[in-house]
Structure 1
Amino acid sequence: MYYRIFRICFSRYFHSKTRLPQLDFTKPTSDRLKKLSLNEPSSTDNQSLLKVSLRGQCLFGLYPIELALKTKRRQFYQLFLSETSNENRPVLENIQQLAEQLSIPIKYVNTHALDRLSFDRPHQGVCLDCSSLPIQHIEQQTNIQQNSTKISVDLCLVKIHDPMNLGGIIRTAHFFGIDRIILTRGTCQPSPVASKASSGALELMSISTCNDLKTYLNVLHEQKNIAVVCGTHKGNMPLQILRLDDMKKNCLNSNLQRIIVLIGNEHEGIPEEITEMCHYNVCIQPNAESEISSLNASVACALFLYHITAQINI
């Protein structure tokens, strides 16, 4: 009995003395911010960190902010610039001019404040408090305008979880002239991290969400002039033999209007029930001696988009 009482008291004492702060290491915090969370001494003066409540989300980096200000798709609340920024940089000067034209308040702060605002991501001396990007639901956009002179390409992302991957994919999509990005349920949101990883291309792309991909594909099949291409490492057709001419022949009256490219993440791929609904299940074949069976989603996406758009643009 005494042993049991001693054991309970010791257990309570031990847990009360060794309980650690609950840190969320999924956030992009630096060693300095981790030390602050642990109340450890740091060379940074805590008073120098900006204490501000953002009205929206914090966009950071030169090109994401410049393109956001140019496209005016967001609402803008306040621009934060480094006190030691080089005013001779053309991009930075353009950002300041755009902010002044749009009557956006400008606040000059130290580097530590910008680090805090951007969660220690590479902000390049500028942050912007702004609203999120407008997102449309794809379910209300199934009707496609007929244009016999152009084949449009949509990129549908299936459960892409990493915002860095999302940013890289969007940058590639804009580079190759993709018309629209479709984010399915389970794919990460177009965050400031994704915008920075895209070098600002996220600010230029049309973004839509799809809550029910299976239903959406069923609606597309009824239109008869759309080709759905699924990219997966288990595909039964090598990418190099996927030909635009064959896709045109398989469409009603050879009147192909739009190509939908589905890309999934490298861990789970695309569900089998979705791949069965695609006209083409395409793979990128590895070298015969490769010990790796699949590519990073961003890299695989770049190869798919280049192969398809290169044939359209001939």
Structure 2
Amino acid sequence: MRYEEFTIEGRNAVMEAFRAGKTIDRLFVLDGCQDGPVKSITREAKKHDTIISFVKKERLDQLSQTGKHQGVIAYAAAYEYAEVEDILKAAEEKNEAPFIVLLDSIEDPHNLGAIIRTAHQAGAHGIIIPKRRAVGLTATVARTSAGAINYLPVAKVTNLSATIEELKEKGLWFVCADMDGELMYNVNLKGPIGLVIGSEGEGVGRLVKEKCDYIARIPMYGEVDSLNASVAMGVLAYEIVRQRLS
């Protein structure tokens, strides 16, 4: 299902969006605003586990497209999120070993869009992103994915490490991309797999990395020390494809 409205402004509009069951990725509220309607909106947001940011009026004015935000602006997801179970089901329906991409702290919508596009082409069954410190399914992500967002389920989870643990119990094992790892060609990437990619600046977080079974390194010969996150994901995804075909 496609949502046409991405930025929702004004108290009634935001409240209606929650009541209509729209997925709100983030809510911006005027700092210090404590009146009844705003309290009702923040209560609703907490119920749906929406990230709430209390910001100054200047910030809201900056974000506003209408100039009539009344102290609240919501970012609705451009597309609905899937459940992790939907991703496993997609693999089962194709009679394939699950291949899932997990993203740690990817905040650039162009990167996420490119990752969705490449993951779909590489035969991944879905993508898992965390709720915090990560971009959601925005309109920019949808555009950059070049339509792949319509075919590849994206799930959003509260805790990436806990999700990895749960998926391990279902037979998946995990490899993360990191410069300190073993050369990717020497890592066995066959079978049910989760590929973990971190942000360009920080890479995969320590807690998530500790949950991974293998750490794979992409060979690099340049003077700069990292690849764009979507390119790194593409390189490793196609090594998984190569090993699955061999």
Task: Please give the range of the TM-score, normalised by the shorter of the 2 chains.
Answer: 0.5 to 0.7
| Aligned equivalents of 1:198, 1:142: Cα separation in 2 | 18
1:136 is displaced (CA, Å) by 3.0
What SS does the aligned partner of 2:179 have?
Answer: coil
1:178 is displaced (CA, Å) by 0.8
2:238 match? 306
| Aligned equivalents of 1:57, 1:281: Cα separation in 2 | 37
Counterpart pick for 2:97 among 135, 151, 158: 151
1:25 match? none
Amino acid at match of 1:208: A
1:214 match? 161
- Please state if 1:233 is matched with 2:182: no
1:132 is displaced (CA, Å) by 2.9
Counterpart pick for 1:260 among 180, 186, 194: 194
1:147 is displaced (CA, Å) by 8.2
Percent identical residues: 26
| Aligned equivalents of 2:4, 2:137: Cα separation in 1 | 18
- Please state if 1:202 is matched with 2:134: no
1:179 is displaced (CA, Å) by 0.4
2:5 match? 56
Cα 1:146–1:136, aligned 2, differ >3 Å: closer, same or farther? Answer: closer
Cα 1:143–1:160, aligned 2, differ >3 Å: closer, same or farther? Answer: closer
What SS does the aligned partner of 1:294 have?
Answer: coil
- Please state if 1:285 is matched with 2:219: yes
Query: Is contact 1:228-1:260 (8 Å) kept?
Result: yes
Query: Is contact 1:238-1:282 (8 Å) kept?
Result: yes
User: 1:78-117 residue pairs with structure 2 within 5 A?
Assistant: none
Cα 1:148–1:162, aligned 2, differ >3 Å: closer, same or farther? Answer: closer
What SS does the aligned partner of 1:166 have?
Answer: helix
What SS does the aligned partner of 1:237 have?
Answer: strand
In structure 2, the gaps of 5 or more residues are: 8-21, 23-64, 66-75
1:277 is displaced (CA, Å) by 1.0
What SS does the aligned partner of 2:136 have?
Answer: coil
- Please state if 1:188 is matched with 2:135: yes
1:150 is displaced (CA, Å) by 2.2
TM-score (norm 1): 0.50
Query: Is contact 2:77-2:137 (8 Å) kept?
Result: no
1:222 is displaced (CA, Å) by 2.7
Query: Is contact 1:151-1:312 (8 Å) kept?
Result: no
1:279 is displaced (CA, Å) by 0.7
| Aligned equivalents of 2:88, 2:116: Cα separation in 1 | 24
Cα 1:309–1:163, aligned 2, differ >3 Å: closer, same or farther? Answer: same
Cα 1:243–1:148, aligned 2, differ >3 Å: closer, same or farther? Answer: farther
What SS does the aligned partner of 2:163 have?
Answer: helix
Cα 1:201–1:146, aligned 2, differ >3 Å: closer, same or farther? Answer: closer
Query: Is contact 2:87-2:126 (8 Å) kept?
Result: no
TM-score (norm 2): 0.63
Q: Which structure has more strand as a fraction of its residues?
A: 2
Query: Is contact 2:129-2:160 (8 Å) kept?
Result: no
| Aligned equivalents of 1:169, 1:233: Cα separation in 2 | 20
Amino acid at match of 2:230: S
Query: Is contact 1:153-1:180 (8 Å) kept?
Result: yes
1:146 is displaced (CA, Å) by 6.4
What SS does the aligned partner of 2:174 have?
Answer: strand
| Aligned equivalents of 1:198, 1:271: Cα separation in 2 | 25
Residue correspondences, number: 176
Query: Is contact 1:180-1:205 (8 Å) kept?
Result: yes
1:35 match? none
In structure 1, the gaps of 5 or more residues are: 1-53, 59-73, 75-118, 120-129, 248-255
1:281 is displaced (CA, Å) by 0.8
Cα 1:194–1:132, aligned 2, differ >3 Å: closer, same or farther? Answer: closer
